[in-house]
Structure 1
Amino acid sequence: MVTEIYVDNIIFGSTSQKQVDEFVHLMQEEFEMSMVGELNYFLGFQIKQCKEGIFISQTKYAQTLVKRFGLEKARHMRTPMSMNQKLTKDEHGKNVDPSLYRSMIGSLLYLTASRPDISFSVGVCARYQATPKESHLKAVKRIIRYVHGIAEYGIWYSKDSNSHLAGYSDADWAGNIDDRKNTPGGYFYFGNNLVTWYSKKQSSISLSTAEAEYIAARSCCIQLLWMKQMLEDYGLQQRLLTIFCDNKSAIDISNNPVQHSRTKHIDLRHHFIRDLVESKTVVIDYVATEKKLADIFTKPLDTTRFEKLRGEIGLCQL
């Protein structure tokens, strides 16, 4: 029996159904609980298992979302966000119903649990929930039209895999038009399977691409260390953790423990990555830009590259 507790959430499992039933009964006697089956129903998860692996999708939820907002007859889009569109506060734009806009964003955020391909675009649109404009609503509707076209897609988890942790980091330097802050993104593999990802705007402004990529790699390190600790609680030991980055300058900064003019302005909290590299806990490896899968979490892409990366991170139709 394995049990994982995080704040007020509990994940448990066992090879014995009897143990699972006994644990459920015991917890329900002590606490008021919502079972995972109820959560799966609410979020529309469909889980299909076979000898080769597990396929997780939210097809029914996605289809319901499209109908809820009246876009079932709208033309499908092949990408969730246009490369030519840069969202801003649009202070002179026409106001739209904020309740409707927030409802759309909230519904899409639930869908990102199985659809990492929309994480970046939903995150960008979520920045404008306070005073949404017509341009923002148009961008959200495009995401829903994209979801409508491939509602059956989900994540494939193969059983034919190793147990090595690896992370991929990226950053879109000064990509936000309003404040010129960066949007770092990262995704993490356990063997051949994508297990978690993030796309979040940084709170500080970076002065160069190298600095933005360096800070993104630092965020990646934090996530990997947490995952390593969790896996060790399950008895799965991890050795050297690998982070892939396409910026050689950021890798050089990580490997150089000496403070110099290029890095003295960077907040000290970001430099702990150097200690991890020096202690051989983490290694930062170079990956060519064309093979950088994390691009899908940091910037809008053209149709060809977006669809290529979407397939490579494990999104497919069973």
Structure 2
Amino acid sequence: MLNGGAVIWHSIKQECIADSTMAVVYVATCETAKEAVWFKKFLHDLEVVPNVNLSITQYCDNSGTVANSKEPRSHKRGKHIKRNYYLIREIVQQRDVIVTKIASEHNIVDLFTKTLTAKVFEDNLENLGLRDMYIR
């Protein structure tokens, strides 16, 4: 999100096999962090956005992913994750991105990945700034 609005979202098939929810979310978080670093550099090069050198906060509702993104050593549960996805640890150590835990009920992007009640769906649309685009 930038200035309170959605910037980008897309759905792609992951190129690896994951045997846990943490692994799936970890891979997605790594991909998102790489996009955030690219976007941050792009905005920096434009020289039109103040404070672009600040860390980008990336919210995640999976505690295992948050812990693994900050920990420089490998964990037993993540041993099957391809090494190239450990890049997120370097990104976090450089403070380009801060991976922060968010409760699932406050994770407004769940509308893209989960089945939600109508009320939660509409609340998430509004929080993303997409409410006016929703047609009943």
TM-score grouping bracket, smaller chain normalisation: 0.7 to 0.9
> Where do residues 100-249 of structure 1 align in structure 2 (5 Å cutoff)?
189-235=1-47, 236=49, 237-249=52-64
Query: Which structure has more helix as a fraction of its residues?
Result: 2
CA distance in 2 between counterparts of 1:240 and 1:218 reads 15
Shift of 1:261: 1.9
Relative contact order, CA 8 A, sep 6+: which one is greater? 2
Q: Could you say which structure has the larger radius of gyration? A: 1
Say whether 1:277 aligns with 2:92: yes
Cα offset, 1:304, TM superposition: 1.9
1:250 aligns with 2:65: yes
- Counting only pairs closer than 5 Å after superposition, residues 74-113 of structure 1 correspond to structure 2 as none
Retained in 1: the 8 A contact 2:122–2:131? Answer: no
Q: Normalising by structure 1, report the TM-score.
A: 0.39
Deviation of residue 200 (structure 1)?
Answer: 2.4
Separation in structure 2 between the aligned mates of residue 201 and residue 292 of structure 1, nearest angstrom: 22
- Give the Cα separation in 2 of the matches to 1:317 and 1:260: 44
Asked if the contact 1:198/1:297 (under 8 Å) is kept, the reply is: no
Q: Distance in 2 between matches of 1:315 and 1:281?
A: 27
Cα deviation for residue 301 of structure 1 reads 2.3
User: Would you tell me which structure has more strand in proportion to its own residues?
Assistant: 1
Amino acid at match of 2:96: T
Deviation at 1:223, TM superposition (A): 1.3
Distance in 2 between residues matched to 1:316 and 1:283, nearest whole Å: 28
Q: Which of residues 90, 108, 123 is equivalent to 1:308?
A: 123
Is the Cα contact below 8 Å between 2:54 and 2:96 reproduced in 1? yes
**Shift in Å, 1:250:** 0.7
Relative to 1, partners in 2 of residues 1:260 and 1:195: Cα closer, same or farther, differing over 3 Å? closer
Runs of 5+ unmatched residues, structure 2: none
Gaps in structure 1 of 5+ consecutive residues: 1-188
TM-score normalised over the length of structure 2: 0.87
Question: RMSD of the alignment, in Å?
Answer: 1.6
How far does residue 256 in structure 1 lie from its aligned partner after superposition?
0.8
Measure the CA separation in 1 of the matches of 2:4 and 2:53. Answer: 15
Identify the residue that residue 297 of structure 1 maps to in structure 2.
112
